[in-house]
A and B are shown apart, each in its own frame.
Chain A
Amino acid sequence: MSWQIGTVTWINGPVVRARGSRQVSMLELVEVGDEHLVGEVIGLEGDIITIQVYEETSGMRPGAPVYGTGMPLSVELGPGLLRSIFDGIQRPLPVLEMRSGSFIGRGIHLTPLYRKDRWNFTPQVKVGDAVTGGTILGTVPETPALEHRVLVPPDLEGTLTWVAPAGEYTIDEPIARLRTENGEQELTMLQRWPVRRPRPYRSRLAPTEPLITGQRVLDTLFPLAKGGAAAIPGGFGAGKTVAQHQIAKWADAQVVVYIGCGERGNEMTEVLQEFPGLVDPRSGRPLMERTVLIANTSNMPVAAREASIYTGITIAEYYRDMGYHVALMADSTSRWAEALREISGRLEEMPAEEGYPAYLAARLAEFYERAGYVETLNGERGSVSIIGAVSPPGGDFSEPVTQHTKRFIRCFWALDKALASARHFPSVNWLESYSEYVDDMADWWREQVDRDWQTMRGQAMTILTEESRLERIVKLVGPDALPDEQRLILETARLLREGFLQQSALDEVDSYSPVQKQIRMLDLILHFHQRAQRIIKRGALIVMIHDLPVVNKLMRMKTLVANDQLEKLDDIRRELDEQMDQLEAEYR
């Protein structure tokens, strides 16, 4: 459904200008040229229309037609999103592959959601019910892992005049009819929503529970709240993508939206090949059943890369509105910012820092603002948590994208090149990283896991901070110059770093660490520290502590103790106490 609104006058890569109708509106979806390439209006001046085109424009000529659609760039929402992989403008990549083969062709128009699937709909409303935006009309088992709740679109309200009986329907078939102020309206399981407009909710709630990732350094030291926003900055090879993959695999979210934004093709292939075989530790179902993938890799058109972030966040909000906790990963937000810069450059806009447009900060703010823990329109609680990777040039965090991002997130997981090259993963630097959610999460930890989490976390941080101060002295005079109490700090810090913080994504056992295990491991290391402190005060030498056989156990407990055999940690504790008792006896 499109009609000609103008003709192309100028082409520069993904940016095209056309002369035509003054009726076209800003951000309207348009189609350009005989191939009907998808584009979006990004500027209007008199009768000149500026368009960013989401496909390669090679070969396009001035004089080519431009067609309007009267609609903004929107996504399709409905059952069938989970398990899918889309490009930045929500074209389903597997269908694209069937159409154009291994290489992505141009001008191929596809509906994002498959029309022929029949979904088992069970109504939850009846004729005569007054409904408003967000009311649950019924449910569909979208995947065995997730019940899809069919909602009244946010901007509608009225009285139901007809509701389909339980049964199988396609997403195009009506499932209810609604009498509204503007007449009767048919509702299907399919909705559209403009990607650049946040979906509404009733109210924002304070974050109270953590998004558990199974990664010790994150959960225990720098927790992210459900509904919160985190950034993972780091130079190339620091471990951003592996961290994002780990969170996508293990986070206790009900839905995961993973956006590969301007990154490698093989990384998306890896997810596609790995996730169906991995089981969610909570639902017991393959991870793919809760996952939506958006892939606009670095070699795919740059304007669609810009759109991919919005496509992803809108899908995330849609599941939030059903009352689910959604985690969204964007790898990498820097590539999205660069897409903005590239388009801006071709428009010859005035650049601000490092060639980025002046509105970079505003766009970042708008994006991260779409994270949140909310009361939905139907009174449920849902959340969108955002975890954005940042790829600073030269690994230097003083650059604009990192700096602006820092203003809009509350959890900063700074990855460190030196740690990564020593293969200390996750290379989260414990001195540079922070979480502003620690206090907010304290109640949850106290009630759900352990009374003393916040205290223990504080002690661990103190030891690690103290270590870095002592290391500076050691670099000048060697460790022998330190008194044994201080050398004990180095010893415990080593245990914390290697035995606790280090966590290999590749290890079968340790890839995911349940919170109970995390806290008990930390407790053991701190217990070691306290006992050793006492013994050293009495005159024992640090080497005696260092040589205790249990030290090696503490170093290896993360892999030695399976996640379902945490009682083995008690054995290690017993061993520790025995060995310490013995040593202590010698220094009575």
Chain B
Amino acid sequence: MSEFIDRGGQEVIGVARVEGPIVVVDGVGNVGYDEVVEVFDSRGRVRRGRVLEVGEDVAVVEVFAGTTGLSIDDTRVRFLGQPLRIPVTEEMLGRIFDGMGTPIDGGPEPLADHYADINGQPINPTARVYPRDYIQTGISAIDGMNTLVMGQKLPIFSGSGLPHYQLAAQIVRQATLGAPVGETPSQAAEFVIVFAAMGVKHDVAAYFRNSFAESGALTRVAMFLNLADDPPVERLVTPRVALTLAEYLAFERQMHVLVILTDMTNYCEALRQISNIRGEVPSRKGYPGYLYSDLASIYERTGRIKTSTGSITQLPILTMPNDDITHPVPDLTGYITEGQIVLSRDLAYQDIYPPIAVLPSLSRLMKDGIGEGRTRADHSHLSAQLYAAYAHVQDVRSLASVIGEEELSTVDQKYLEFGRAFEREFINQGLTENRTIEETLTIGWRLLSILPPEELTRVSPDEIQQYYRK
């Protein structure tokens, strides 16, 4: 894995201070900000780290594997003179790596003629291509209401115990390049998958692995696993390693890459830990003030560029502590990503799968990915109408809980009926049920037809004429 092994570099014996995952090294010269180090314990075992801050003869180093077993006098630190880089090659597909990019599947180190800095570089906005090709996931609540577009970053906001893994796996299994209703896709885009786990349990990684295997996708997947019992600081590197490979595959090998990052909340906790140990001024809930910029340096590594036909689509998964969407991790994520799919505990209790809370969910790129020539001309109005109607259902429900259902107006009773049907028949679907875009739109219109046509002011009279069924 490590390209720098033979490069020598400056070495220092003994450190000044060890605290949590941080060591402070004195008596260094000529060390670069952000460069990689190798830290050896008294028995010569190596672990890696990187320089967080550097002065004239002192460097603050973050040790990815933690500092357990390091002593002041016997620790050796070697500075390698460059930022962390990994080899990138197509051969990494079908392989499993640890959170730093070292193979853990028993296979050989990938042979690459190309090494890339894991921090990447910002995409120039003028070099981007605005993403407009939608991905059919076969899931109505997504395709109909929050359409995913190739090159989008669309996270799943979940809570512990909710079926976000099933949903992500189903999306991966079913994702195909979308086509307008009545046409078949002109090109069959095959997605490759880059999967990065940060602090998740073994069985989660196993679940995804099995799911990829069952759908025959395993040869198209590269997995980077930092599991719950792996060093937390390593988590800070894992998504960057994964995205470095994704960028290579998408922008140099012209592939369509789906990147799954889970769980971003664990990533942020590791960042908070380092920040607290360094005594930085916290902003909200102890997270550092630069959490937004740090997350952006991950999420913005998504999209399409003019010089490649490939794309990176990101599906980060995060669990909201206490199901609180205003918690800094989902909050800052939502400020950066192009929408969010929010899962609801309420729906899950009612046995609705996928329990997607459509009202707080959003796909910002949907507007340009749907409509005539992309899905169907009425799609945008239909989804706006479903949103408006379902939002009204919430008001009616709370009114009904006060005055009783019988006291509701006939129209409001229709809304209740619509609301139930929408949850049972539109949102709810099987784990393996793969609906076409046309099926999704048809269900949407069938349910709208529960309501009197005068209520439907978001769709045009012509559309009512064509699709409303009484």
Contacts and interface: CB of A to CB of B under 8 A. Distances in A.
Given A338-B289, A478-B403, A393 B331 contact: yes
Interface in A477-491: 477-480
Interface string A347-387: 00001001100000000000000000000000000000000
Chain A's interface size range is: 35 or more
B297 A478 contact: no
Contacts of A422: 359, 387-388, 391-392
Nearest to B28: A62
B62 interface: no
A59 B50 CA distance: 11
Contact of B127 (A101, A264, A477): A101
Contacts of B251: 102
A42 interface: no
Interface string A295-310: 1011110100000000
Interface string A386-402: 00000101111000000
B56 A498 contact: no
Given A265-B123, A422-B359, A423-B384, A57 B289 contact: no
A269 interface: yes
Interface in B254-305: 280-284, 288-290, 292-293, 296-297, 300-301, 303, 305
B292 A556 contact: no
A43 interface: no
A335 to B, nearest CB: 7
Contacts of A128: none
A103 B399 contact: no
B128 interface: yes
A10 B130 contact: no
B31 interface: yes
Given A85-B126, A422-B359, A476-B402, A498 B457 contact: yes
B350 interface: no
Contacts of B387: 421-423
Contacts of A354: 283-284
A567 to B, nearest CB: 21
A259 B21 CA distance: 39
A11 B399 contact: no
B120 A269 contact: no
A345 B289 contact: yes
Given A58-B119, A60-B33, A345-B281, A12 B53 contact: yes
Interface residues of B, number: 83
Contact of A298 (B296, B326, B362): B296
Interface string B125-160: 111111100000000000000000001000000000
Interface in A537-577: 552, 555-556, 559
A265 B326 contact: no
Given A421-B391, A423-B384, A480 B293 contact: no
Contact of B31 (A61, A269, A391): A61
Interface stretch (B65-73, B101-109, B334-342, B431-439): B334-342
Interface in A105-142: 105
Interface of A: 9-13, 56-63, 85, 93-94, 96-97, 100-105, 235-237, 260, 262, 264-266, 268-270, 272-273, 295, 297-300, 302, 335, 338, 341-342, 345, 351, 354-355, 391, 393-396, 421-424, 474-480, 498, 504, 506, 552, 555-556, 559
Shortest beta-carbon contacts, A-B, top 7: A394-B326, A422-B391, A298-B296, A102-B127, A299-B300, A236-B334, A103-B121
Given A422-B391, A555-B457, 17 more contacts: A58-B119, A62-B31, A85-B126, A93-B125, A93-B126, A97-B126, A100-B124, A104-B124, A266-B365, A298-B293, A338-B292, A345-B289, A345-B290, A351-B281, A355-B283, A423-B391, A478-B402
Interface of B: 29-35, 52-56, 82-83, 117, 119-131, 151, 251, 280-284, 288-290, 292-293, 296-297, 300-301, 303, 305-307, 326-328, 331-332, 334-336, 338-340, 359-360, 362, 364-365, 367-368, 380, 384, 387-388, 391-392, 398-399, 402-403, 407-409, 454, 457-458, 460
